[in-house]
Amino acid sequence: MYTPRVARLAWILPTVLLLLSLHQVVTAINLGKTLDEGEAAVAEVIRYERSDRKDVTHVELDLLVRLGDGSTIERNRLALPYSIGHRVEEADSLEVTVLPGGGQEVVITQIGRTQTRIAWSNGAMSFIAFLMAFVGVFSWNRWLARTTT
């Protein structure tokens, strides 16, 4: 009775996984574009926070970027992948690449390529999960269509 409705609603899962995969691909492209086309600048680390708790692990920082023309850009609560956050832990200032108006306006130069690879990897993994979910939901809906008619 409810099984066909649930099977149709199950299409939400592959849809969300596909959107997640596309988001990660766009993020990787934007990171690469900023690194390739952006201008070099120096950012002052205003705040660095690393949580090593078992239930919550994250690295977050606030930056004040000084551009070549004398203007400044402030970026707060920038999340970094936990696995590479230690690379910028003790720094008072960081070299960054800035592309005003870009999808990723400020990228820490030292870890930018690693972040790009992580985004590509996340996109690939979520696409594989999408394919598996798609096949499962498609097969289930097809099986239900055959058995209920």
Per-residue model confidence (pLDDT) at position 149 = 67
126 close to 56: Cβ distance less than 8 angstroms: no
Check whether 1 has a pLDDT greater than 80: no
Residue scoring higher pLDDT (21 or 78): 21
Share of the chain above pLDDT 90, in %: 68
Return d(Cα 26, Cα 125) in angstroms, integer: 15
Express each pLDDT in 52-65 by its tens digit: 888 888 889 999 99
Q: Which helix (H) or strand (E) holds 45?
A: strand 39-52
Express each pLDDT in 102-144 by its tens digit: 999 999 999 999 999 999 999 999 999 999 999 999 999 999 9
| Alpha-carbon distances of 52 from 58, 86, 91, rounded to whole Å | 7, 11, 19
Structure tokens at 122: 């996340």
Is residue 103 helix, strand or coil? coil
- The pTM assigned to this predicted structure is 0.85
Residues 6+ apart with CB under 8 A from 92: 44, 45
